[in-house]
């Protein structure tokens, strides 16, 4: 697939053209966007709808560990959990993917073999992205070579905030090429972009450059994923599909810890982008602790009793 999409191929011809395009996108009124997100957050999802949403949310989890202290043992344990989140309940679906640092990819690849679970690796000098392009490309190629079929890259926020949009664009294009057949998730690090206008522009930039997913955050910067930021990104993928015919996924990451939160996101996906995105191929949660809460709520729905953390595995 080419990096640029034909209806908009002209807009990435030059820095000026790209700036004109991105700054010509409709603005976002922060208060209105926040109110819309909060309004969707009041939807009340009960009983059958809740059970359906919990299983979907589990299937959308990118189970993540991104610590300096990660070891092969830790990663193997996480992979086991990914395959079988609730050992006591075989009806519980597996998660979508495991997400680790490049150095952990070989371990994870071995542990996940045959499971159908995707293996995502952060790359490109995660989380700051402050490294030469060559280093980022090598980082990416190494992760793919080691078995990652999804790459979570970070954009150069510094370049973006300095207005060097074409530089950001070209970097994404290069990384996408280095990914080969691996899917590329582009982390915008919305907590550093700050304004919703920037989030919208960065979303379009990443999509124009060929990103398969746009992702909110590294998880290393506060605020990480928020409902309104995800709202802006869902609007972006919706509009991008309308404009170009190409569908891009969305991944909020960081800070989503409870079932209640996850369901709010799913409601938002449903009502903003549409149910075409209610699928692990098009929406993911970057999370770690969320999974156990989903499992506890799943058990509560099935048994009618509240469960406790001791009944779920800690990995």
Partner 1 sequence: MSRFEYAPAPESRSIVKLQPSYGLFINGEFVDGAGSFKTISPASEEVLAEVAEASTADVDRAVKAARRAYEDVWGSMPGRERAKYLFRIARIIAERSRELAVLESLNNGKPIKESRDVDVPLAAAHFFYYAGWADKLPYAGFGADPRPLGVAGQVIPWNFPLLMLAWKIAPALAAGNTVVLKPAETTPLTALLFAEICQQAELPPGVVNIVTGAGETGAAVVNHPDVDKVAFTGSTEVGRIIARAVAGTNKKITLELGGKAANIVFDDAAIDQAVEGIVNGIFFNQGHVCCAGSRLLVQESVADQLLESLKRRMATLRVGDPLDKNTDVGAINSAEQLTRIKALAEIGSAEGAERWSPACELPDRGFWFAPTIFTGVSQAHRIAREEIFGPVLSVLTFRTPGEAVEKANNTPYGLSAGIWSEKGSRILAIADQLRAGVVWANTFNKFDPTSPFGGYKESGYGREGGRHGLEAYLAG
Partner 2 sequence: MPAKKKESADSVASATRVTAGGVATAPRLAVRKTYKLFIGGAFPRSESGRTYVVADSKGQFVANAAQASRKDARDAVLAARAAFGKWSGATAYNKGQVIYRIAEMLEGRRDEFTALEVPAAEVDEAIDRLVWYAGWTDKLAQVVGGANPVAGPYFNLSSPEPSGVVAVVAPSAPTLLGLVSVVAPAIATGNTVIVITDAPRVAITLAEVLATSDVPGGVVNILTGSAAEVAPWLASHSDVNGLDLTGLADAKLALELEQAAAETLKRVRRPAAAPDWSADPGLAPMTAYLETKTVWHPKGL
Q: Does 34 bind partner 2 (CB under 8 A)?
A: yes
Q: Does 194 bind partner 1 (CB under 8 A)?
A: no
Question: Phi and psi for 220 in degrees, rounded to 5?
Answer: -100, -5
The correct pick among 1, 31, 222, 314 for binding partner 2 (CB under 8 A) is 31
CA dihedral 51, 56, 62, 65 (to 10 degrees): 10
Q: Does 279 bind partner 1 (CB under 8 A)?
A: yes
Q: Does 32 bind partner 1 (CB under 8 A)?
A: yes
Residue 43 interacting partner from partner 1, partner 2, none (CB closer than 5 to 8 Å by kind): partner 1
Site string for partner 1, 201-240 (x = CB under 8 A): ----------------------------------x-----
To partner 1, the closest distance from the beta carbon of 168 in angstroms equals 24
The correct pick among 103, 128, 244, 270 for binding partner 1 (CB under 8 A) is 270
220 is catalytic: no
208, 259, 270, 225: which is closest to 57 by C-alpha?
A: 259
Residue 157 and residue 192 in contact, taking contact as beta carbons nearer than 8 Å: yes
The correct pick among 6, 9, 13, 29 for binding partner 1 (CB under 8 A) is 29
Q: How many binding residues for partner 1 (CB under 8 A)?
A: 28
To partner 1, the closest distance from the beta carbon of 66 in angstroms equals 30
Element (H, E) at 312: none
**From 11-19, 29-37, 199-207, 299-307, span contacting partner 2 (CB under 8 A):** 29-37
The correct pick among 13, 30, 113, 260 for binding partner 2 (CB under 8 A) is 30
Question: Which among 176, 185, 215, 264 is annotated as catalytic?
Answer: 215
Q: How far apart are CA 135 and CA 139, in angstroms?
A: 6
Q: How far apart are CA 261 and CA 308, in angstroms?
A: 19
Please say which residue, 65 or 216, places its beta carbon nearer to partner 2. 216
Q: How far apart are CA 152 and CA 175, in angstroms?
A: 10
**From 2-10, 30-38, 141-149, 300-308, span contacting partner 1 (CB under 8 A):** 30-38
**Measured CA distances, 195 to 29, 151, 209 (Å):** 10, 26, 21
Residue 161 interacting partner from partner 1, partner 2, none (CB closer than 5 to 8 Å by kind): none
Q: How many binding residues for partner 2 (CB under 8 A)?
A: 7
HSE-up of residue 215 (Cα within 13 Å, Cβ side)? 28
**Measured CA distances, 279 to 74, 96, 108, 184, 284 (Å):** 28, 10, 23, 17, 8
Q: How far apart are CA 282 and CA 17, in angstroms?
A: 29
- Enumerate the β-bridge partners of residue 154: 187
152 is catalytic: yes
Residue 311 interacting partner from partner 2, partner 1, none (CB closer than 5 to 8 Å by kind): none
Q: Does 253 bind partner 1 (CB under 8 A)?
A: no
- Angle in degrees, 0-180, between the axes of helices 259-268 and 227-244, rounded to the nearest 10: 30
Q: How far apart are CA 240 and CA 190, in angstroms?
A: 19
Who contacts 164 (Cβ-Cβ below 8 Å, separation ≥6)? 15
Q: Does 28 bind partner 1 (CB under 8 A)?
A: yes
The binding site for partner 2 (CB under 8 A) comprises: 29-32, 34, 194-195
- Residues marked active site are found at 152, 215, 251
The binding site for partner 1 (CB under 8 A) comprises: 26-29, 31-33, 35-36, 42-50, 52-53, 235, 266-267, 270-271, 275, 278-279
């Amino acid at each position: 697939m080419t990096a640029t999409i034909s209806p908009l191929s002209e807009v990435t011809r030059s820095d000026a053209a790209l700036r004109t395009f991105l700054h010509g996108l409709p603005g976002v009124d922060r208060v209105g966007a926040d109110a819309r997100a909060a309004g969707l957050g009041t939807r009340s999802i009960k009983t059958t709808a809740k059970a359906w949403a919990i299983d979907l949310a589990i299937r959308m989890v990118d189970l993540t560990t991104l610590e300096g202290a990660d070891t092969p043992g830790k990663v193997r344990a996480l992979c086991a959990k990914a395959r079988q989140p609730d050992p006591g309940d075989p009806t519980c679906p597996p998660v979508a993917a495991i997400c680790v640092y490049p150095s952990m990819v070989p371990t994870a690849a071995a542990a996940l073999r045959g499971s159908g679970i995707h293996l995502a690796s952060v790359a490109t000098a995660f989380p700051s992205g402050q490294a030469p392009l060559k280093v980022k490309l090598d980082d990416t190629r190494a992760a793919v070579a080691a078995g990652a079929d999804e790459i979570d890259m970070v954009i150069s926020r510094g370049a973006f905030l300095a207005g060097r949009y074409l530089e950001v664009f070209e970097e994404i294009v290069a990384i996408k090429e280095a990914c080969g057949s691996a899917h590329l998730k582009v982390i915008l690090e919305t907590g550093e972009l700050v304004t919703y206008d920037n989030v919208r522009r960065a979303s379009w930039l990443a999509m124009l450059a060929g990103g398969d997913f746009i992702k909110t955050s590294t998880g290393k910067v506060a605020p990480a994923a928020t409902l309104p930021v995800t709202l802006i990104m869902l609007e972006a993928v919706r509009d991008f599909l309308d404009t170009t015919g190409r569908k891009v996924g969305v991944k909020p990451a960081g800070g989503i810890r409870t079932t209640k939160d996850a369901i709010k996101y799913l409601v938002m996906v449903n009502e903003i982008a549409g149910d075409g995105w209610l699928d692990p191929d098009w929406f993911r949660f970057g999370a770690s602790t969320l999974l156990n809460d989903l499992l506890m709520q799943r058990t509560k729905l099935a048994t009618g009793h509240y469960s406790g953390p001791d009944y779920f595995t800690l990995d």
